[in-house]
Amino acid sequence: MYLVTGGTHGIGRACVEKLAGEGLPVLFTGRDHDAGTELSTALPGTIFVAGDVSRETDCRTIVDKALELGNGAIMGLVNNAGTSRRVTFARSGIEDWDAVLDVNARSAFLFMRFALDGLIAAKGSVVNIASVAGLRGEEGLAIYCASKAAVIGMTQALALEYGETVRFNVVCPGQVDTRMMERISSDPALRRPLELRIPAARFGQPGEIADVVSWLLSDAASYVNGAVIPVDGGETSGLRTPRQV
C-alpha cells in the first residue's frame, strides 16, 4: 500500500494520479471530502480517507487503515500535506507558528513514526515534500521556511538512521501552479517577476513534481537516500541578472 497525505489537490493529487496510473494501490487523505471522494471514484485502486493531519488521532487512524489494507506493510509514504501563512514576523503569533508547524512538520513526524514498522516490513520508501523555502529564507514566510527546513533536517536524519531498510528523501518544489499559489499565480503583476527569476521562465506543474516523487519511490532510485532534490526550474541555482518585467 502507498500512502499520500494532502492528496485531494495540487501536488498531492498529482502524486495520487501518477501512482494509480502505474497500477499501484494508493490510500490518500485530505480535508476536502467531496474532492477526495470524486478522485477515488475516478481512479480504480485508490481509497480516500478524510482526515485532518494536524490531529494526532486522525494521523493514527489513517496509518492504521493503510497498514490494514497493506497487510502490515507500507511500500511508500508521501508526506505532502502543507499550509502557509504569509505574515511579517512582527505580526506573527504563536497561533501562526502552531498552525503551520502542526501541518507541515508535526504531521510528517507523526505519519513516519506511526508507519515506521510497516515501512521497515516492506523495505519501503518515504518522500517528504518540503520547499525551496526550506533551503533559503523568503521574506514574509519565516514560519513556513522554518517548517520546511525542519522537514529537510528530519528526513536526512532518518536516512542515516534507517538507510539499510527504508529510504528517506526530500523533494523541494519551487513555484508551482497550485491552490496555495493561486493568489500570486492568478495576478500577472505578481506572477511575472517570479517567472523572471526562474531560469525555466515559468511556473512548474504539479505533475512535474509527481514524476520525481514516483521515481524516488521506485526501485529505479534504490541507491538514492537522504537526497534533497529541488524541482524548481533552476530557481535555487544562484542569482540571475535582473530582467525587465
Query: Catalytic amino acids?
Result: 144
> Strand pairing of 76-79 and 228-231?
unpaired
User: Which whole-number Å values give the CA distances from 187 to 182, 184, 192, in the listed order?
Assistant: 8, 5, 8
d(CA 111, CA 78): 9
* 62 Cβ neighbours under 8 A, 6+ residues apart: 3, 5, 27, 29, 49, 51, 111
Q: Other C-beta atoms within 10 Å of 64: how many?
A: 14
* 181 Cβ neighbours under 8 A, 6+ residues apart: 175, 203
On whether the CB atoms of residues 240 and 197 are closer than 8 A, the answer is: yes
Q: Other C-beta atoms within 10 Å of 31: how many?
A: 16
d(CA 154, CA 212): 20
